[in-house]
A and B are shown apart, each in its own frame.
Chain A
Amino acid sequence: MKITIADVEHVARLARLELTDDEKNLFAGQMDAIIGYVEKIKELDTNGVMPTSHAVPMENAFREDEVRPSIGLEKALGNAPHRVGSFFKVPKVIE
């Protein structure tokens, strides 16, 4: 198997996802099949081909340096899971 449990754990950690052992097994198998499939792009010779980041050629989208009204505290904090004063509160970083 190309995608191992360790691979799944590594990627999950990078993505801040916690998986049960069953999930790890399931995902390892599924990811292996999918990666195995997408590898087919390696068959193509892409020497000298530029990668496309944008489907339609566009450049230089700007705005002027003019202040726009902010949305205000109530809207900014309206969905806060935990609010203290005008801060978003989060648990301490445990080092």
Chain B
Amino acid sequence: MNVFDMTINALHHALKDKKISSFEATGAMLARIESVEPQVHSFITVASEQALTAAGAADQRIASGDCGMLTGIPLAIKDIFLTEGIRTTCGSHILKNFMPPYSATSWEKLQERGAVLLGKLNQDEFAMGSSNESSAFGPCRNPWDTSRIPGGSSGGSAAAIAARQATATLGTDTGGSIRQPASHCGCVGLKPTYGRVSRYGVIAYASSLDQVGPLTRDVADCAVMLEAIAGHDPKDSTSVDTPVPDYSATLALGVKGIKIGLPKEYFIDGLDPDVQTSMQSAIETYRRLGAEFVDISLPHTDYAVATYYLIATAEASSNLARYDGVRFGHRSEQAEGLINMMTKTRSEGFGAEVKRRIMLGTYALSSGYYDAYYVKAQKVRTLIMNDFIRAFADVDVMLTPVAPTPAFKIGEKINDPLQMYLSDIFTIPVNLAGTCAISIPAGFSTDGLPIGLQLIGKPFGEVSILQAAYAFEQATEWHTRKAKI
């Protein structure tokens, strides 16, 4: 088996059994990256030298008997995570030469375990997007069909898994940005409960919605990654101080007797027929495995996208105010005087989608509109949260589609931002409610494009959704199919 086809589990055993060294594995990964990149463009920065150095150090650790699950494993992470000494751009021109003086906590945790960083992954600029088309460094392409989007904003994180350019990756999810690309690229993607993983060192888009999560080839790998990154961080006031369960230990408990909710608002007419088929087939599979289905309602679902695009853009407009050309990042050469310098810097540095969201958010917070838009949206958010709390009284997890259609073509929706926003309908409510969800491979369209299913769990119910995901995965073969690239 090629190194680049291995899961974390498989590669870990190969390293432990000295069948291969981390240096060799990393070298193989780097070669794979080089060969496939021209077609996929998953990476913004490939850090070959640093990766090989880290792999060498990992090999020494392994030789001394210290071989944890992630020691020597080559990973790549979204370019939204600060990595000390390695350029971090967040997919934006305004940070194209930014060299962070510190690293994100979630990356440090992986680094401490001896993981090797291959490079930084492509993404929509400042995580604003569902297609990776707004990256200042060029779009990322879906390895299953390179004329199509990989999804976004963590497009590179999902494409790198599908193209086998990294054993596992990290992404971020604010409105679906891990789950939707995972679905479009046929891999596993998990958005943990808000507060489960530290946001320190993650470039902020929408602070009350952003969450860090892993993208992997299978559910067992996902559990390994989550164990490593979850936990309280005193540097993040919004990180929660709850113990981290051993997610791997409980994976195989099965779903007999588990109550799975089917929110009727997510199974609408007009769902793509292939998505529809995959959902039906998945429901049958779960029934065979012993799960019970309960029809539930999340009545405020229809207002989720509107609520999200008010709250997220408002928070983003404030979070992006620090990009003013004073202390780091791009500074316009053209400007005269201070205000002009800031204005020109931002106008030159930000792309259209970012500008659009900054303006929307500024509008929603501005004098005269704050109550009608921002505060109102925060109240509707409460209603949406309450929908979930009520429904979870009757079910253990919920099952829904991830996206209304499989991956669309590059350029298809770029001129209609509202259409683009509406395609996040199934993933956004989870971020608003602050709870956890996972996307796993559940089928393919007639065109051979991956289709994922979403399992939504209760807050801090990652154990349950991982179990349910594992059971499904073990009973099906969707996750074993590989993109021909």
Contact = CB atoms under 8 A, between A and B. Distances in A.
Interface of A: 3, 7-8, 10-12, 14-19, 23, 27, 30-31, 33-35, 37-42, 44, 46, 49-56, 58, 61, 63, 71, 75-76, 78-82, 88, 90-94
B344 A55 contact: no
B327 A63 contact: no
A93 B339 contact: yes
Given A46-B380, A76-B101, A92-B338, A56 B328 contact: no
Given A71-B102, A81-B328, A38 B459 contact: no
19 contacts: A16-B339, A30-B418, A38-B309, A41-B380, A42-B372, A44-B303, A46-B376, A51-B378, A52-B382, A54-B238, A55-B434, A56-B238, A76-B101, A80-B327, A80-B328, A81-B327, A81-B329, A82-B331, A91-B335
B360 A35 contact: yes
B358 A55 contact: no
Interface in B416-447: 417-418, 421, 431-435
A19 B337 contact: no
Interface of B: 97-99, 101-102, 193-195, 208-209, 234, 237-238, 240, 300, 302-303, 305-307, 309-310, 317, 321, 324-331, 335-344, 346-347, 350, 352, 355-356, 358-360, 362-363, 366, 372-373, 375-383, 385, 417-418, 421, 431-435, 459
B338 A94 contact: yes
Contact of B98 (A15, A30, A79): A79
B331 to A, nearest CB: 4
Contacts of B321: 15-16
Nearest to B302: A40
Contacts of B327: 79-81, 88
Nearest to A38: B306
B329 A92 contact: no
A49 B379 contact: yes
Nearest to A51: B378
A90 B209 CA distance: 34
B385 A31 contact: no
Nearest to A10: B366
A34 B328 CA distance: 32
Nearest to B359: A11
Contacts of A58: 195, 237-238, 240
A34 B306 CA distance: 9
Contacts of B366: 10-11, 14
A88 to B, nearest CB: 5
Contact of A17 (B346, B377, B379, B385): B346
Contacts of B341: 90-91
Given A34-B418, A55-B208, A18 B343 contact: yes
B382 A31 contact: no
B337 A93 contact: yes
Contacts of A12: 359
Contacts of B335: 91
- Most chain B C-beta atoms within 10 Å of own C-beta, residue among A19, A39, A81: A81
B303 A55 contact: no
